[in-house]
Amino acid sequence: MVTLWWIYRRKKEEKSTWQGKLIIIILIFLLLWRVVPCVLHEVGNFGREEDAAETLVANLEKAEQIAKEDEEKRKIEEEQRKVEEEKRRIEEEKRRAEEEQKRLEEQRRAEEEQKRLEEQKKREEEQRKLAEQLAKKRAAEAEEKKKAEQAKAQSTPAVNYSVDRDCSDFSRQGEATSFMKASIAAGFGDHRLDRDGDGIACDD
């Protein structure tokens, strides 16, 4: 400002002003020498700030993308875990069903075996009862037969086959034939009652 005022006074007095102009030029150069680096520095800083902002935005976007990927991965792992748990649950239910079926099968076999043993025991008991009844029946028949033989022996008089007999000792032909057969069976011969040898006594 002082230089401009001085130039103005010199020009008004019609004096030479080249010294003032030179001073102004020097001052302009000095100003440029001080201002331009600052401007360039600020411009460089502005570019770097823009780069830093872009880098920050890129890093934020990358971090957000990574977070989304981690969230997706976590969800996928959670789904896989649920699937695995469901698979294990189904396998456990299947195993329990197989064990229950096996237990029921063993129980059915045990019941069938018990039923078979009971039926076998029942058949054996029936066979034993039948055998006892048959034995009792046979014993009763043998007892009856023995009693009948005893009764017959008691009712039938004792015959002495050693005494010689002839047809005049019998009232009927049949009685003579029975005596002859009994005598032959006892070993005493036919007492000459069957002279023609036809097995009938006193028929001649």
Q: What are the tens digits of pLDDT across the range 108-122?
A: 999 999 999 999 999
Calculate mean pLDDT across residues 147-170.
71
What is the C-alpha R_g of the chain? 75
**Quick one: tokens of 119?**
């039926």
Pair 114, 181 in one domain: no
Calculate mean pLDDT across residues 20-31.
71
Sort 187 into a burial class: Cβ within 10 Å, 0-12 / 13-18 / 19+.
exposed
Pair 50, 104 in one domain: yes
Please determine, for residue 159, whether its predicted confidence score (pLDDT) is greater than 90. Answer: no
> Does residue 144 fall inside a structural domain?
no
Contact 188, 160 (CB under 8 A): no
Q: How confident is the model at residue 147 (pLDDT cuts 50, 70, 90)?
A: confident
Query: What is the average pLDDT score of the chain?
Result: 79
> Does residue 48 fall inside a structural domain?
yes
Our count of domains for the chain comes to 2
> Does residue 154 fall inside a structural domain?
no
What confidence score (pLDDT) does residue 169 get? 82
Extended strands (E) in 26-145: none
> Does residue 116 fall inside a structural domain?
yes
Which range has the top average pLDDT, 26-35, 39-48, 183-192? Answer: 183-192
Q: pLDDT digit string (tens) for 34-85?
A: 666 666 666 555 555 566 677 888 888 888 888 899 899 999 999 999 999 9
> First CA to last CA across the chain, in angstroms?
207
Containing domain of residue 90, as a range? 19-127
Residue 179: CB atoms within 10 Å: 19
What confidence score (pLDDT) does residue 3 get? 55
> Does residue 173 fall inside a structural domain?
yes
Contact 179, 170 (CB under 8 A): yes
Contact 191, 164 (CB under 8 A): yes
What confidence score (pLDDT) does residue 84 get? 93
Sort 116 into a burial class: Cβ within 10 Å, 0-12 / 13-18 / 19+.
exposed
H-helix or E-strand containing 33? helix 18-155
> Within 13 Å, how many C-alpha atoms sit on residue 80's CB side?
6
Q: Considering only residues 162 and 99, tell me which one the structure prediction assigns the higher pLDDT.
A: 99
Contact 165, 179 (CB under 8 A): yes
Pair 122, 174 in one domain: no
Pair 103, 172 in one domain: no
Please determine, for residue 99, whether its predicted confidence score (pLDDT) is greater than 90. Answer: yes
Name 20's Cβ contacts closer than 8 Å, sequence gap at least 6: 3, 4, 6, 7, 10
Q: How confident is the model at residue 92 (pLDDT cuts 50, 70, 90)?
A: very high
> Within 13 Å, how many C-alpha atoms sit on residue 6's CB side?
12
Pair 186, 88 in one domain: no
Which range has the top average pLDDT, 42-51, 108-117, 141-150, 154-163? Answer: 108-117
Pair 43, 123 in one domain: yes
Sign of CA dihedral 81, 82, 86, 89: positive
